[in-house]
Each structure stands twice: as structure tokens, then as C-alpha cells.
Structure 1
Amino acid sequence: MNAPFSPAPADALRSALAGLLDGLPPKQAAQAVDRLIANYRGRTPTDAPILRDRSDVAAYAAYRMPATFEAVRAALAGLADAAPEWSPGSHVDVGGGTGAATWAVSATWESGRPVTVLDWAEPALTLGRELAAANPLLAEVDWRRSRIGSALSIESADLVTISYVLGELTEADRGSVVAAAARAAQAVVVIEPGTPDGYARVLAARDALLAAGFSIAAPCPHDGACPIEPGADWCHFSARVSRSSLHRKVKGGSLPYEDEKFSYVAAARFPVSPVAARVTRRPQIRKGQVLLDLCTRDSGLARATVTKRHGALYREARDVDWGDPWVQGD
């Protein structure tokens, strides 16, 4: 994806998180992380906030904010690629917690804007406000406590993000939240974990946004039905996340990075130009050839085999990544 991106917000976020777990026993942080991971995988719909206290919020921010930031940024890049002349003048982040999506928006469109973060966990909002002080582009954020469900009211905004929150809700509340976003926004981006369940929630949101008159900007090359056979596979992507020493302290692990799997849809009421084809799996690089699994505008799911005899196209194929557009796909 080739949307503009500045490393400054990512660096500022890492710096803001650096001292977050000072004084919090590692065992307590690890236990909180384990419980939060189970919930954020979407298997525990609830009508109560998942982030209950400062310890929960600190553990969540340390372990999840960098990954959420990268996944949301990648999804926003898909929208930015499809509408390169557009940028949001206002932003509402539904279920935004400690504000990872607001950081990602500031990394994608480098200007300040009025932002409202809605969440039902006051400790998350409090910590989000503290972290945002490190980012000048987040000076106009209203951290507002709000129940996320059927009674949700969203003020009109250019962009509404709903990231890693639908899995916390009942099916009825998911529909209500997406409908509220569709009524309020010019563009809606929904991000969920890259699991079959997360993809199913994204697919339902996609259908609802299309029914509300939106056009799909990304990742799909079209507004038609998803060509994946239900139950056979699921659409998801991967974002590389640098692990800090803080991250390893919370959850362990020897690698300096991890890959965050996510599913998403970006949709808009204004004209967008989706890619002709998108790489839907990690490319398979073999001797003298590259195999690309694609979702295409005209042919649905397809595989492209690019060999050395294709010259420049082969060199391009070797550099393409999972989730990238493939300009030769049409």
C-alpha cells in the first residue's frame, strides 16, 4: 500500500508507552493480557466494559496498542489509496479505548482535526488522554464516555473508525453500531481480528454499508459479493509490528517483531477508485517464479504466475506483499 505515512506518530506512541508498566508487577500484567486476548479474539460478547481498571488498561495498551495501530494504519492506507485527494476533516472513533486508531489516522493524514473517541471504559479514556499528550496532532480529541450498543449516537463526521470492538458486542448491537456509523459518516473503516469470526463480522458490516449506499474502497476491488466460499476460507491480512522491550516484558517472545492478522473493510459515500486486484495471501516465491493469490475486479479469486521471462513484471512481483494492490491483475 502506498498511502502517505510518517514514522513520527509510531515513534511517539512507542515513547509514550515506554514507562506505562512501571510499578505494575509483570505477573499481574501477564494475567491481564491473557484475559484480554481471550476477549479480543471475539469469543466473549459482553454488555460490560472489558477494560475494567488501570491495570487492565496498562496491560492492554502495552500489549495491544502497537498491533492495533499497525492494523488500523494498514486499513486506512487502503482507503487513502482509493481516494488520494480526500482527507478527513473530522473523525469519530467508536470503542476507541486508549486511542490507537486516532494515532493511526494522524499517521495517515498528517494534519490535526477534531476527534471524538467514544468508549464505555473510563480508565481507558483517561489513559488515552494521557498518551495523546505526546502527539500534537491529537490536541483536539474529546475523550467521551459512551455506551457502545443499540443506543449509540454518533455525531456527523468525515470518518468513523470501528476497530476491534464488534467482537465485544451481541449480534444485534453490532448491527446497531454499524448502522449508526453509516448514518453519521462519509467514510467508515471497520477492523477486526484476522480470524474466521472476525472476517464474518467484517463481512456483515460490509453488507450493511453497501445496503446503506456506500461504495467499497478497500480491500475489495468491487462492490459485489465476496467470492470466498463460506466456511472454506476467510479474507485477512497481516501487519508487521515491532516488539519493544516493554512488549517482551509483558508477554515474552524472542523475535523483535510479530505479525498482526486482521480483517477490514473501508467504505465511502464519495467516489473511490478501488484497485483492480489485491494480493490476498503471502506471495510464494519459488525458483524463477512468483505465485500471487488475488481477489480481482472482474474474475473473482484468481492466481497469477509471474516468471522470469516476464522481465520487469517479475521483479515487481518479487517486491509485492500480502495486501498490496496488483496493477497487472486486470
Structure 2
Amino acid sequence: MPLTLTRALEAVLDGEDAEALRRATARLIEVYRSGAPPSAQVLRDPVSAAAYAAYRMPATHAAVSRVLRYAAEVVPGLAPRSLVDVGGGTGAAAWAVAEAFPGLGSVEVLDGSADALALGARIARNGPSVLAGARWTRRDLAANAPLPQADLATVSYVLGELPDDLGGRVVDAAMAAAGVVVVVEPGTPRGFAAVHAAREQLLAAGWHLVAPCPHEDACPLAAAGDWCHVGVRLDRTALHRRLKGASLGHEDEKVSYVVARREPAALPEGRVLRHPVTRKGMVRLEVCRADGNAAAEVVSKRQGPRYRAARHAGWGDRWPIGGTDPAD
């Protein structure tokens, strides 16, 4: 059975002081829900790092995994050999990349928290060989030092915690370091604002979008005061439920993201923006379209293959406007 992040977390966190983890988790939740950039290092000690790993790694991993799946659908030949994970903390994004791309040969995780990096390295020793051999490097992003060169740079759950000017410098550094950049933030208005700023910065630098956008025009949701995000459902572990005081066996992580690269990609004709609404004989989709507009589309049973395609469509999926039935 392949090693998984869940098993790795269990192997490393088993035996930790449960009450200390609960207190640290409550503090982290309060910090992240405040919506303001932290004024000090959040993962400031081993207990905070352990709480973060138990509470946030599964959700971050699930979100980045879904984003990478969307990117690979648009660029089927996407196969990075090297990764730099910027602000990677305990390495959740690195786990997602290693699982998505079996040919990955090298990983470097950068973060300002020595405790997060040390814990991430311990967790990674229970994972794939590329993670077990990863480099875990302490780096102050405000220092403006160049990032290590890599095929892929991930910047996940980082920009929203930085001042706007520093966030822009981090995106510039990622573009200088890699041929593909993945930016992931919480699917909130603030998180989307950080993603949208990165999108505009990437486009202004001459980069090309891969996902989620089916076009490179102005974002119609931002123009309307809305925000683009997608929901990712993940199973909660027993430890996760205990730390959050939760009863449900799953949770829905809302995520905003952008993936871009130096070369143009064959973008889809549309992207589903919300959960499709299914009624007898019809499906209503909210779609961002290749022409730069976002609008509702109602697909009826009389439309045959197009209707079957709509019934298979999910929030965040490409919308095959040509009517291809994904079941065929």
C-alpha cells in the first residue's frame, strides 16, 4: 500500500500532548480567521508546528492536489522534474506535487519557521523518496534573495499572510525561478484578492494562464465585486476532528488559485464557477467563458450529449461547450 500523508502524520504526531495541540490549534484558528497578516511568526515553536501539521496539512494538500489536477487537464504533458515550495511550512504542497508527478526528482521547501521545516522533514521521511530527500531551507521572504531554480514553483497559503508589496516581490521571485507558477490561497474575498493580484502580475509579465481561467482577459468576477473559488471536500482524520472539536467526518476547503507558465496553453472553452443546479430534465451552470464573460447557462435534456456533459460537470471543472459527453 503506498505511503500517504495521513499515515505519515500519524507516525510523527502520535504521542504528542493532545491538550497542548488543542490550545495551539485554537490559537492558529484565531490568527487565520482574523483576516489580517500576522504581525509575528505564527509557527513559533514545535507545538505550534505540530498543531499546524495536524490541522492544516490535510486541507492544504487536498487543495493543491485538486489545483494540480486541473492544471494537468489543460496541459497533459505537464511533468516537472524539480520543485521549489515557497513558504511551504511543513510541506503539504510538496506532498501534493510529489503525488501528482511521479517523475519529480528534487524538492526544496523554503519557510521562515525553523520548527515547521524540522517537523516537515520528519514527516517527509515517512513519504516518497523524493520527499525524504528534500531540502528544507530557512528563508526570510522579505530578504529579497533569489529563489532556487526549479521547473515548478508553488506559493500556497502564503501571499495572504504578507504585506501587498512583499507578496508582489514573492511572485516576481517565483517567476524568475521557475517555468510554471502555482498560487493557492483560501477561497475568501481576501484570498481571492491575493490570487487576482498575482494573476494580473503574471499576465503583465507576459506569462500565460493555465487554470482556472479559460481566457486571459480581465476577470469578470473581480469586475463584479465577486470572487472566484472552488470547494474541495476532504476526509477528516480522528486527530483532525479532536483538534477542531468537529463531529463531521469531512470538511469542505474553499480555495482560490491561479496556475501560469511561460508558454501559451490550449485553454478550455469554459470553467464551472459554482455547484451545478440540477432539476428534472435540466442543469443550470454558472460558467466563466473563453470570451471573458461569466454567465448562467441552462442545459435541457433535449440537448442530448450536452445535457449528459452538464450532468457530469462539477464545481471547478472545465465546461465542454462543444457538447462532449465525458462518459463517452
Output the TM-score relative to the length of structure 1: 0.92
1:1-330 correspondence runs (5 A)? 8=2, 12-41=4-33, 43-46=35-38, 48-135=40-127, 136-230=129-223, 232-328=225-321
- Distance 1:328-1:236 versus aligned 2 partners, 3 A rule: same
Q: 1:274 to 1:117 in 2, by over 3 A?
A: same
Question: 1:47, 1:169 within 8 Å by CA — same for their partners in 2?
Answer: no
Larger RCO, structures 1/2 (Cα 8 Å, 6+ apart) = 1
CA distance in 1, matches of 2:192, 2:304: 36
Give the percent of matched residue pairs that are identical in Structure 1 and Structure 2.
48
CA RMSD across the alignment: 1.9
Q: Equivalent residue of 1:261, what SS? A: strand
Q: Which amino acid aligns with 2:237?
A: S
Per-residue deviation at 1:231?
A: 6.2
Question: C-alpha offsets along residues 41-70 of structure 1, whole Å, 9 cap, x if unaligned?
Answer: 472324632111111111111111010001
Please report how far the alpha carbon of residue 240 of structure 1 lies from its aligned counterpart in structure 2 after TM superposition. Answer: 1.1
Over 3 Å counting, the alpha-carbon distance change for 1:44 and 1:24 in structure 2 is farther
SS at match of 1:328: coil
Aligned counterpart, 2:326: none
Relative distance call for 1:229 and 1:100 in structure 2 (3 A) is closer
Residues 272, 310 of structure 1: alpha-carbon distance in 2 compared, 3 angstrom cutoff: same
- The count of aligned residue pairs is 322
Quote how far apart the aligned CAs of 1:299 are: 5.0
Greater Cα offset, 65-74 or 24-33: 24-33
Report the Cα distance in structure 2 between the residues aligned to 1:106 and 1:146, rounded to whole angstroms: 22
Q: Counterparts of 2:236 and 2:317 in 1: how far apart (Å)?
A: 23
CA pair 69-56 structure 1, distance change in 2 beyond 3 A:
same
| 1:192 CA displacement | 0.3
> Could you tell me how far apart the structure 1 residues matched to 2:164 and 2:47 are?
29
For 1:207 and 1:230, locate their aligned partners in 2 and report how far apart those are by CA, in whole Å. 13
CA distance in 2, matches of 1:121, 1:329: 48
What SS does the aligned partner of 1:187 have?
strand
CA distance in 2, matches of 1:198, 1:38: 16
Moved more, 30-39 or 140-149: 30-39
Aligned counterparts of 1:70 and 1:97: Cα–Cα separation in 2: 15
Partner of 2:19: helix, strand, or coil? helix
The separation in 1 between residues aligned to 2:144 and 2:91, in whole angstroms, is 22
Q: More displaced, 78-87 or 182-191? A: 78-87
Which amino acid in structure 2 is aligned with residue 272 of structure 1? A
Give the drift of 1:226. Answer: 0.3
Say whether the 8 Å CA contact 2:195–2:257 is kept in structure 1.
yes
Shift of residue 26, structure 1, vs aligned partner: 3.3
Deviation of residue 107 (structure 1)?
Answer: 1.5
Q: Deviations over 1:142-199 (max 9, x none)?
A: 1000002252420221100000011221111111111111111101000000000000
1:327 partner SS: coil
* 1:84 CA displacement: 1.0
User: 2:220, 2:292 within 8 Å by CA — same for their partners in 1?
Assistant: no
Judge conservation of contact 1:42–1:197 (CA < 8 Å) in 2: no
> Contact between 1:160 and 1:185, CA under 8 Å: does it hold in 2?
yes
Give the Å deviation of 1:40.
3.3
Give the TM-score taking structure 2 as reference length.
0.93
Q: Tell me: CA distance 1:329–1:208, structure 2 relative to 1, closer, same or farther (3 Å).
A: farther
Distance apart, 1:137 and its partner CA? 3.3
Runs of 5+ consecutive residues of structure 1 not aligned to the other structure? 1-6
Spell out, residue by residue over 1:54-98, the C-alpha distance to the aligned partner (whole angstroms, 9 max, x if none): 111111111110100011111112221221112111110000010
